[in-house]
Structure 1
């Protein structure tokens, strides 16, 4: 048979068949009447090659597997076992990544259907910033809210924001929006050390009022202590004048979580 027919029979292309020839995987048949004449042995070998390719086995490993003289050699050849183990590891890693992408897309689709911003930021955070931006009494406060929102968004995109952090943002019925807007309206660049400490303490107090003792303890028990520092380090790096406040917030929140864990 001709090359086009063997390609059709094995579900591949003429170009792929010729590539396998070039790689030494598929023997080149003799010519008859100016055409390469493939027989059943070529169809069988090409079928085996395609089967292993579809299983994710690399081409360099396929030659070693197909050229082993018996099934017994294949099962005991350390190189073949390593090839197959390596191919399986690659597929499992790819499967993990595809599963992660599927979950992300499902979440984004759900948010889009609900009319929410397509972003990795949790809906509770999105709603918080939406409210404050809409209720800001002046442009300075509005700009500060937007800047903080951008910082949180970057932390979410980069994976620095732990999922539990969303519960530190007040909901619409918590009555904390007015105090938050007052804080956003203040100048953070020229605060004294005492004022920075006071500002951070007010934020922690707001968290505690919003969450309540039981939820504070649950949150403290669920959060990984190592996950607290990264977002504040990012805020300190990107937040310009808010670097000192970010550092103080990290310190006080770490202390608060330790305290919450000890709460009976």
Structure 2
């Protein structure tokens, strides 16, 4: 039979047949009267190749599998290769399942008019609220913008647990006003220097500590939900890198380090922080 007939009977294309020739998967037949003459053996081989390929076996492994059979290699070798293919397919199925779930979330956000972002809606609304409060007070919301970007990166890496929602929901109007003031004052640190700037950074850290202690238990639940071990250390390294990159001014770094030192004085916070950051939690 001619190559066109072979391809039709195998449910494929002439181009695919020639590709298999090129890969060495399908033997090139002898030429009869100027044309390649394919036999039933070629068709059977081609159908086996297509059957394996349609089962998800990569062409490179199909070549190894068929060669193993041709050479009489133990079937356990073939089984091992096919099991690896199966595991890869299962992993791909899980990946597709997660993508479908993420699309469901995107559709839900579209229907609710929410921003299309990996950041939790509650956190996005929190930053929107603070931005409005800061602007209303006549201050710049610049640090909120940077903070939002930092949180977006962390959310994209799965480092913001669902428990952040209840924590934010527990903040009352006074707490939100204080948060807005904290961000505004944090932005102002870049305009200070010397002892005045250092005092301002430390006072800002003390006010932040007071707010954290007021909501200690919900905050500890959020921190506890962030993985420990290697994943926790990765989260800490990312947080440190993003913070220093987003807030490079020395007084802003001093604020963060002083706040860490104040939190380290509380046994509960200290245990959690040191679980990620080691014995010296500093930026």
- The bucket for the TM-score relative to the shorter chain is 0.7 to 0.9
Please give the per-residue CA displacement for 1:192-245, whole angstroms capped at 9, x wherever unaligned: 444434323322432443x464x3454454333426623244212222223333
Please give the per-residue CA displacement for 1:93-120, whole angstroms capped at 9, x wherever unaligned: 4334333333322222221221111011
**Secondary structure of the residue that 1:38 maps to in structure 2?**
coil
Match of 1:128 among 115, 126, 129: 126
Q: Does 1:55 align with 2:65?
A: no
Once the two structures are TM-superposed, the CA of residue 13 in structure 1 deviates from its matched residue by 1.8
Name stretches of at least 5 consecutive residues in structure 2 with no aligned partner: 273-283
Q: Is 2:3–2:38's contact at 8 Å kept on the other side of the alignment?
A: yes
Q: What pairs up with 1:200-215 in 2 under 5 angstroms?
A: 200-209=205-214, 211=215, 213=217, 215=218
- Tell which deviates more after alignment, 188-197 or 98-107: 188-197
Match of 2:254 among 244, 254, 260: 244
Q: Is 1:170–1:177's contact at 8 Å kept on the other side of the alignment?
A: no
Q: Is 1:108–1:118's contact at 8 Å kept on the other side of the alignment?
A: yes
Once the two structures are TM-superposed, the CA of residue 17 in structure 1 deviates from its matched residue by 0.6
Q: Distance in 2 between matches of 1:14 and 1:253?
A: 70
Structure 1 residues 100, 25: CA separation in 2 closer, same or farther (over 3 Å shift)?
Answer: same
Q: Is 2:189–2:200's contact at 8 Å kept on the other side of the alignment?
A: no
**Secondary structure of the residue that 2:168 maps to in structure 1?**
coil
Match of 1:231 among 232, 239, 244: 239
- Tell which deviates more after alignment, 180-189 or 19-28: 180-189
Once the two structures are TM-superposed, the CA of residue 188 in structure 1 deviates from its matched residue by 2.4
What is residue 277 of structure 2 aligned with on the other side?
none
Please give the per-residue CA displacement for 1:23-70, whole angstroms capped at 9, x wherever unaligned: 221122233443323232222111111122223323233223224448
**Secondary structure of the residue that 2:56 maps to in structure 1?**
coil
- Tell which deviates more after alignment, 243-252 or 98-107: 243-252
What is residue 142 of structure 2 aligned with on the other side?
143
Q: Distance in 2 between matches of 1:163 and 1:45?
A: 53
- CA-based RMSD of the aligned residues comes to 3.3
Q: Is 1:116–1:123's contact at 8 Å kept on the other side of the alignment?
A: yes
What is residue 2 of structure 2 aligned with on the other side?
2
**Secondary structure of the residue that 1:170 maps to in structure 2?**
helix
Q: Is 2:189–2:197's contact at 8 Å kept on the other side of the alignment?
A: no
TM-score normalised to structure 1 length: 0.79
Name stretches of at least 5 consecutive residues in structure 1 with no aligned partner: none
TM-score normalised to structure 2 length: 0.74
Q: Distance in 2 between matches of 1:256 and 1:223?
A: 19
**Secondary structure of the residue that 2:12 maps to in structure 1?**
coil
What is residue 101 of structure 1 aligned with on the other side?
99
Structure 1 residues 76, 184: CA separation in 2 closer, same or farther (over 3 Å shift)?
Answer: closer
What is residue 39 of structure 1 aligned with on the other side?
39
